[in-house]
Structures are given as C-alpha cells and as structure tokens.
Structure 1
C-alpha cells in the first residue's frame, strides 16, 4: 500500500481553526531542514495520519523536531503532548513552543515506560562530551563499559497519564527513546486497544539490544496483538508498506487502513 501525505483528506476549512503564522513558519523551516538532511524525512509524511483537531503524543521529544510540525498540523483545536525526561530538552521544547506559538498541549519532564515509578536517565560520553541524543532509561540497560552520567527521572505510563488527564482519544503517537520503545508500547496497551492510534516508532537493533530486545521480536509482538496495523517507511513522497526492518532506516509507521484513508 502506498500513501501520499499530500493527498490526505482534510476537514472543511470552516470546521478548522488554523495555527498562527509563526507556527506555520516554524513548520516550513523544519520541512526545509528535511531537504538539507538536518531533520528526519518522516516529518513530511505526518499529514497522512495526523489531522486538524487531533490529540497526539510526542514521546522522546528531544529538541522538538516533531513537536512544532505536529502542533501546526493539529491546529488550534488539536493538542500536542510532548514528553522528555532530560532538562535540556524540556527547556528547548518549551522555548520553541513560546517562539512559534505552539501552545496547545503541554511539555512534561517525564519518561514513559511499562510501569510508573522512579528511575534514571543515562547519558553516554564520547571524547569527553555528553551525547544527549542518546540519553536513555538506565534501568535494565546493558551499557557495557561506556562512561555515563545519570540523573533521576519520574517514569509514567501512557495509559495512566492519559487516564489522569482525561485524554479521550489519541490519534498519533511518536516514540523515539533509544531502544526503550517496546517498554513504552507495553505501557500504552489500553490506549492502543481503545483508539488504534498511528504509531511512528524508531526501531534499531543497535539500541534495542541494550535492553536485550531485537527488531524481529518487537515486530512479532506488535503484529500478534494488533494484526490490523501495517508497517510503512517513508520514501520521500509516500508511505510504502513493508514487512522488514532495514538497518539504514530508523523510523517506521504502524497504521491501520482506516487511519491512512482519513
């Protein structure tokens, strides 16, 4: 199945309150960044599965690469809930939201996982410098002999957080958490069972192995519990259905036919 994001149906203009010009400009800059290979190309495919008015979750928001484009797409009637356990990332995302006017939704300094509790974020060092983009949950991780800096974080679950905040429907969930993706999905089972949100997941064996997982096993679990999902990759213009994970590709979209049809 091939899906073109540009052809995705939209609600009538009279039913949609568009985002402001600053947010539209911010989104345009991110789209330009994808052409320069400074941002992930999947940003250009979000409109195929995210609609104005949707509530979406950005888990592992990092520096807000997805938060701003998602806020533009969902418009003033939608909500973007961003989750990032590292202080540096949270401050950056909040600043971007102020600068672009992307204020619908919230940014939370919290990690998401299979159970609520307290944990630690481990940030590896290379050549004496911290690699914040590879920060990950320390509990259960095998980091070998790498030098790490750890900081405390609260851990919640998608299911519990949505219940506590009265989120009645989730349309889309993006998860990029350096190999902890299966654990995040485990804590989101009720929401996925209820809403069948489209899922954009980073799936890389080099990160999954840190927690004793692999891509093949993760895909088998997803298919067994939610067989209606189909896996897709972005080819630059379309979502292309695929059945395998390619080491050269980081992100995979899991969506139902209904979600892609709009």
Structure 2
C-alpha cells in the first residue's frame, strides 16, 4: 500500500512519465503543492525493494515516492557497471537510494559499503537496509576524506542530502573521518566507487591515491560547481588528480556519455581507464545511453 498525500504521488508520477524537457520539475512542483505531511511514507521501488519511513519531513525521504514510478537518475550506470559478487563503495550514501540499488545488483555474494557520517541519516539508512534484509550492506558511520581524523559537519533541517563538511569553528556535529586507502586495508576492495560529498570529492580522491593507482575502480562522482566552490575546490583540480593516475572523465548527458575536456556537461561524471577492459566495456555500453538533465535523484 502506498501512503502519503495523493498530490505527492501524482506529482511523482507526472515527473516520471513526462518527457525530459525543461519545465517538468516546475510542473511537478506545482502539482505537489505546499501540503505539509509528516506521517508514514511507504512503498516499493522499481527494483522491488521496499521502504517504510515514519517521518516524511526530510526531502530525501519524500523523493522516494518518485522512485516508485521510475529508477533513480543514475541507475543505468550502476546496472551497467555492477554484477553479482562485486564490491561497491557508496561514499556519501545519505539515506541509501544507491546503496539499495547496488545491493540488488551485487547480491549476497557481493558487498556494499555505505559511508554516511550523520547519525540521524545513518540510522534511516540502516533501517532501510534491515527492512530489506540486505545483510551484505555495511553502514559505515564515518565521513571519507584526505586524512584520517575528525571533521565538523553542517547539517540542514529536513534536507539530509545537503549535509557537508565545514571548517566553521562551531559545526553542528563532529564526525570521524577515514580515507579509502585506510579502509581497504581491512575490507574488500571496490570494483565501483560512487562519491557524492557536496563539493569535497577532491579530498576523497586524495585519500584514495593507492587505491586508484593500484586497483583502478570505476568512479562515479557528483561535480557541481557551486558545491566545489564552497569547498574551495574546482573541477580542474579533480580532472588533474584523476588524469595523473590514468583516468578519463565522461559527462552523463542526454546524448550519452561524452569525454570532459573543459566544461563539465552534467551534474555527475564517470571516471574510467580506457586500458582496463571492464572500463572500456562500460564506455561502449553507455556511449548512447540517455541520461536525464536532472540527476539529483
């Protein structure tokens, strides 16, 4: 049974079925309206996994409604890149949309390591994992960065997806930080790494230099200029960091994946090594795949 306001479901259905043109999000928003509803939301994602959340104030929770009618925006990447038995690292997992999607693809013989440092968000992620009996998903309650230690995090009421590391003297919370190079010393090495850390992607890469040079996993990263600016980073720095270890960046566009040369043409990018057969197969598979303009969920 699907719970929640009918208008929310109608808005989600329209957004899922309408052509991918400018203005669709605005139309969907008008249908959804400004209704306040803080009760139970439950339903079933298009991959068969379920969700039941007793507090719908968070925007990421409400976004689950749309995923009853369509896959998440980046699902095609995960489906092309992951197979049973693979290991996926979800860095910046939030409530776990892509952790759950990955878990369904790698299956019980694989592993998903979902990194989420904000306690309330990690609790919700863990709840969704347990609801679906995904014993091969590990919720790692830590941020990921360039060095091991601690970091301050700014959180936003009812917007878990916007939480980010901050240098402010009085952060909302302080969380542990690990690096991917440190983490893989005691855990399975990933075939695929998704990174969405609100502008701090470069720090994650700098803490994974050994992993990238020696194992070269597929990388899927958010690269939004406003987030990078806030973190004191830039797309050019990320490109240089990855080029030095043999990666090429590809934007995810409505016309398929395209090599990034200067301007980043999409909110998310793939980083792949052309000389790795598995990576080249992924390039061939996705070269004509259409990706939506709005890649937030």
TM range (shorter): 0.7 to 0.9
Contact preservation (8 Å) 2:151, 2:166: yes
Structure of higher RCO (CA pairs closer than 8 Å, 6+ residues apart) = 1
> Partners of 2:211 and 2:177 in 1: how far apart?
17
Matching of residue 162 in structure 1 with residue 184 in structure 2: yes
What per-residue deviation string (whole Å, max 9, x for no partner) do you get for residues 82-105 of structure 1?
000111221111111112222203
What per-residue deviation string (whole Å, max 9, x for no partner) do you get for residues 12-69 of structure 1?
xxxxxxxxxx994029x97972965xx7411222122222111110000001011011
Matching of residue 181 in structure 1 with residue 201 in structure 2: yes
> Partners of 1:242 and 1:219 in 2: how far apart?
9
Structure 2, gaps ≥5 residues long = 1-44, 51-62, 283-297
* Equivalent residue, structure 2, for 1:98: 130
> Partners of 2:198 and 2:80 in 1: how far apart?
25
> Partners of 1:34 and 1:233 in 2: how far apart?
26
* Equivalent residue, structure 1, for 2:67: 33
- DSSP 3-state at the match of 2:233: coil
TM-score for both structures, normalised by structure 2: 0.67
> Partners of 2:190 and 2:272 in 1: how far apart?
13
Task: Select the residue among 56, 59, 62 that pairs with 2:91.
Answer: 59
> Partners of 1:71 and 1:137 in 2: how far apart?
27
- DSSP 3-state at the match of 1:163: coil
* Equivalent residue, structure 2, for 1:13: none
Q: Please, which moves more after superposition, 129-138 or 95-104?
A: 129-138
Task: Select the residue among 224, 234, 248 that pairs with 1:230.
Answer: 248
Count of residue pairs the alignment pairs up:
224
Pair member with larger Rg: 2
Question: Superposition RMSD on alpha carbons, in Å?
Answer: 2.9
Shift of residue 164 of structure 1?
Answer: 2.7
Matching of residue 254 in structure 1 with residue 274 in structure 2: no
Matching of residue 84 in structure 1 with residue 116 in structure 2: yes
> Partners of 2:172 and 2:64 in 1: how far apart?
31
* Equivalent residue, structure 1, for 2:172: 150
- DSSP 3-state at the match of 1:25: coil
> Partners of 2:255 and 2:96 in 1: how far apart?
23
- DSSP 3-state at the match of 1:47: helix
* Equivalent residue, structure 1, for 2:160: 132
